[in-house]
Amino acid sequence: MTLAEMGRDDWARFTLCQRMQRYAVFAACALAVAWALGSIEIIWAWVWDAPVQMGDLFARMYPPDPTNLGTILRVLWETVNIATIATAFAVILALPVAYLAAQNTTPNQATLWLGRLILVTSRSVNTIIWALLFVAIFGPGIIAGIVAIMFRSIGFVGKLLGEAIEEIDKRPVEALEATGASRFKVIAYAIVPQVMPTFWAVAILRWDINLRESTVLGLVGAGGIGIILQGAIDTFNWREAAMVLLAILALVILGEIVSAWLRRRII
């Protein structure tokens, strides 16, 4: 028997009240977007002129200038080193923080909130802001870049590892504790084996992200390929800037290939 035959031909997915609520939410979002666009004082003449300016800029970039390719490749390798070293230190430092930030492994509430405070602080500050801070401390160079990316990565790695620790199967932990095993053995034989796949997945993913982030550190003096890019832009050497951008694109693609290969081999 159909709905019409049963006298229920007025069926609707949402009630009138639900539809009004949805319309109210849509209207509020539209008003928020309109308010945001009106408050940032967009110069619309520049917006409409942007396609012409982009075409002019691309014309100046063509063809890319490979004259300085040797230096670009050398600094590009420096960028890879920044990302790799920073990721390695971040993973090491994130392990104890993740242990403290997980509810089922932290010693007490004070250490729980300490671990979560570290994770929130690390993730709430952008890499460029960290880089500006450490350039002021260490001076321009790759040390500032490494420390900046490391501080940013601790929160990311620690957050995901902490969640992985909270989701482990408790039965192996309880079994070892019942035999009187020490806390170190419980961690080594009941917790670590369960979080190792997540550990490697997060480490590889963070290295891939750091590879991208390290390409812009040079814009604030923290080393890497961004220094050459900033210099080319400042001197209006658009053909060299195009060569740098192509090198960065090649690096990102290579990073994707390497990270995918590592996932297949390790995870």
DSSP for residue 8: -
Predicted local confidence at residue 30, as pLDDT: 92
Q: Are 210 and 224 in contact (CB under 8 A)?
A: no
Which of the pair, 153 or 9, is modelled with greater confidence? 153
Indicate whether 121 pLDDT > 80: yes
Predicted local confidence at residue 29, as pLDDT: 94
Q: By percentage, how much of the chain surpasses pLDDT 90?
A: 9
User: For 154-181, what is each residue's pLDDT tens digit?
Assistant: 988 988 988 888 888 888 888 887 888 7
User: For 72-99, what is each residue's pLDDT tens digit?
Assistant: 888 888 888 988 999 999 999 988 888 8
DSSP for residue 188: I
Tokens read off for 87: 């990721």
Task: Please report, in angstroms and rounded to a whole number, the separation of the first and last CA atoms in the chain.
Answer: 54
Which of the pair, 40 or 241, is modelled with greater confidence? 241
Predicted local confidence at residue 60, as pLDDT: 86
Could you tell me the pTM of the whole model?
A: 0.78
User: For 22-53, what is each residue's pLDDT tens digit?
Assistant: 899 999 999 998 888 777 777 778 878 888 88
Angle (deg, nearest 10), helices 44-61 and 238-266: 90
> Could you tell me the pLDDT band of residue 198, with boundaries at 50, 70 and 90?
confident
Long-range contacts of 193-197 (CB under 8 A, 24+ apart): 194/164, 194/168, 194/169, 195/161, 195/164, 195/165, 195/168, 197/267
Predicted local confidence at residue 27, as pLDDT: 93
Indicate whether 11 pLDDT > 80: no
